[in-house]
Structure 1
C-alpha cells in the first residue's frame, strides 16, 4: 500500500461519516517552533510557571492566560496558513542517560515536505463530510499526563508513537515509547475528538464538551461534527542513538517532561485562533494538501513560506535552564 493512501486512511478512521461517499477535506501544513517553556493556559490558566515544560507552535500571543482575542492579539504565526493564529502544544521530550542526567530532545521539521521548518509539528484539519468549524474561545485537550498503563491509555487510542526507521515509516505504531533505537526519530501522533456538544467552548476537564464518534456517527450528547485536529511531532532522537548512553539493562531512555517513562501520559492541548471564517470556508471547500510540499490547494487559505514561519517567535516568560545536561526535571507534582 502506498504511504499516502495508508496515512489518509488512518487519519479519517475516526471521523464521523468515515466510509460514506461524502466530500472531505485534508488540510495539512507545517508549524515551526514558537517557544519552549512552562506555560499551560488551559490546564493552569494564569500560572507562571506550569507544572511541566511544553513545546508550542502557532500565534505569538500565546501566554499564561488565553483570555484575549487570539487573532487580533498575535502579530505573527509560526504556521504556514497566515490566518491561523491558533496554538497547538504538547509536553516536551527528554533523554535520560544511564548516569541519571537529562538532555532535552529537539523537534525537527517533517522530512516529508517540511524539512526546512525550525522544529515544531505538522498539523492537520480533516473531515469526511460537512463539519462545523470551531468558534472563538474554543479549546480542548486530549490524553492524561497521569496515565502510566496500557489499560488507561486505551481510552485514547489515537495517541501513538512511531519509531521512524525511514522518513516515511508509518507502521508499528504503539501507545508506549518505542523500545529500540529509531534511525530518523520518534513521531508522536495526536488525534483530537471530532464531535462537539454544540454549546460549550470548554469544560471543567477540558474534554467533556467533545467526544469521539460512536461507529460512524457522533453520539446524541455531542451531535455536532467538527474538524479532526491532528498533530504529528517528530522528535530528533538521532543524537542519542549511541548505545553507550543507554541504560545497561537495555530499557528505553526517553521520558516526558512531567516524568513519565512509559509514554502512556501522552497528551496535547489546542486553542482555536483562526481569523474570521477562514477555517469554515476551508472545510466547506474540500481543500487538499500536497503531502510532500508546502502546497495547500485551497483558495480560502493564504500561505506563507516555511522560512517566514521560522521567524515567528515568542519571548520566554519562564527562564528555565534547558540547554546542556540537567541533573533533574523541573516538575511540579500533579
Structure 2
C-alpha cells in the first residue's frame, strides 16, 4: 500500500511590477511572471503540472516513496569542531540540450522549455532511476551517473553552452556536518522556480551571489554589459535545499520533500527542521557561460535572468557517494572531484587517478 501524508497544493507564485536596484548599479524591471505580458517567456515550464505514470511513479500521482523510508531521525543540534570547508566537487560537462524535463514532465518529450544537461549522457523526458543508474556520464567520476540540468542560455538566437567540466559542489548546509548522509538512490528535486519574480529570486534561500561578471556581483538579472575580455565569463552560484523528509524521492511540486536548514534558536547554527530531519549534501551549482560584452540580448529559455532554476536526479553508485560524503563532508575537508584536499596532502584521495573507488 502506498504511504502518503497530506498533499500540499502546488502553487504558482508571481510578483508585482517592480524595479529593483541590483548589484553594482544594474537595474532590472520585472513584470509579474504570471501576467499575460510575460507568460509567453515561460511557456513549457510552469511547475504546476499533472504527472504522468512512469516506471518510478506507476500511478502518476507525483509521490515516489523512498524504499526503505528513513525514520526515527532527530535533527542534529550538535556543534562539532569548526571546519571552514566540508565539501567535494562533482565536475560534469554539458552533454546535450533538449526541451525535456523528466522530473516536471516525465514521458512528455518536447513539452518543456530548452534545457542544458550535464552528467548522464542519456537524460531525456523518459529517464528513470533505472535508466540513469550505471549509465555513461561526463562527470569526472564514472560513478556519478546523476542528471543535472538548467534552462539553456541564449544571446539573441545563439545558444551559449558552458565549456568544460562545471563545478557542482556537494557541501554541508548545516552546522553539524558530521550528521550529513548520502542522497538516497533516485532522489530528485527542482531548485528555484522559473515563475519567480526578481525579488523572489533575490530573497531565495539558495541565492548566493546572483549573476556576476568582471567586477559586477549580486545581479538578479543579467548585467547590461560585461568586460569584453577572453577571461571574462557570466557566472552564477545557486544552492539547493539540504534537508530531506526521509519519506519521498519526489512529490508533486518537486520541492515539498526537501527543505532548507533553519537557525537553531538562540544561536547562529543551522539545523534541519523537524519536518525534514535527514541532512543530505547541499548541492551548489557554480556555472560559467562564455559570454561577455553587450549583454542586452542575453536570456534564458525560461525568461529573464531571475527565472534561473535547476534540477537534480540522483543516480550515484552508492558506495562511491558514501565514501566521498564520509571522507570530505563528514570529515570536514575541502576536496576536489577525487576526494583530495590540497591543504592536507597527508590524506590520500578517496578515488584513484581514474576517479574510481579503489
Q: Same-fold call, TM > 0.5?
A: yes
Deviation string 1:274-317 (CA, Å, 9 cap, x unpaired) is 113221221112265566xx653164435648xxxxxxxxxxxx
Distance 1:303 1:43, change over 3 A: farther
Say how many residue pairs are matched.
256
Matching residue of 1:87: 147
Within 2, Cα distance between the matches of 1:18 and 1:160?
Answer: 29
Matching residue of 1:178: 223
Q: Does 1:42 align with 2:103?
A: yes
CA contact (8 A) 1:38 1:53 kept: yes
Distance 1:32 1:304, change over 3 A: farther
Matching residue of 1:103: 158
SS for the counterpart of 1:65 is coil
Within 1, Cα distance between the matches of 2:211 and 2:179?
Answer: 30
Q: Which runs of structure 2 are paired with 1:219-234 in the superposition (5 Å)?
A: 219-234=273-288
Within 2, Cα distance between the matches of 1:303 and 1:89?
Answer: 27
Matching residue of 2:13: none
SS for the counterpart of 2:219 is coil
Matching residue of 1:312: none
Matching residue of 2:113: 52
Matching residue of 2:169: 124
RMSD of aligned residue pairs (Cα, Å):
2.7
Matching residue of 2:6: none
CA contact (8 A) 2:141 2:338 kept: no
Q: How far does residue 154 in structure 1 lie from its aligned partner after superposition?
A: 1.8
Matching residue of 2:213: 164
Within 2, Cα distance between the matches of 1:83 and 1:32?
Answer: 15
SS for the counterpart of 1:125 is strand
Q: How far does residue 39 in structure 1 lie from its aligned partner after superposition?
A: 1.1
Within 2, Cα distance between the matches of 1:226 and 1:85?
Answer: 18
Q: How far does residue 94 in structure 1 lie from its aligned partner after superposition?
A: 0.9
CA contact (8 A) 1:143 1:156 kept: no
SS for the counterpart of 1:280 is helix
Unaligned runs of 5+ in 2: 1-75, 264-269, 341-347
Normalised TM-score (structure 1)? 0.69
Unaligned runs of 5+ in 1: 1-15, 97-101, 109-116, 247-251, 306-334
CA contact (8 A) 2:88 2:339 kept: yes
Q: How far does residue 164 in structure 1 lie from its aligned partner after superposition?
A: 2.7
CA contact (8 A) 1:161 1:186 kept: no
Matching residue of 1:274: 316
Within 1, Cα distance between the matches of 2:242 and 2:354?
Answer: 28
Q: How far does residue 124 in structure 1 lie from its aligned partner after superposition?
A: 1.0
Distance 1:40 1:107, change over 3 A: same
Q: How far does residue 19 in structure 1 lie from its aligned partner after superposition?
A: 7.5
CA contact (8 A) 2:149 2:311 kept: yes
Matching residue of 1:211: 259
Query: Going by fraction, where is strand more abundant, 1 or 2?
Result: 2
Distance 1:281 1:290, change over 3 A: closer
SS for the counterpart of 2:148 is strand
Within 2, Cα distance between the matches of 1:221 and 1:163?
Answer: 35
Q: Which has the larger radius of gyration?
A: 2
Within 1, Cα distance between the matches of 2:109 and 2:124?
Answer: 10
Normalised TM-score (structure 2)? 0.64
Distance 1:151 1:86, change over 3 A: closer
CA contact (8 A) 2:133 2:315 kept: no
CA contact (8 A) 2:92 2:119 kept: yes
Distance 1:200 1:277, change over 3 A: same
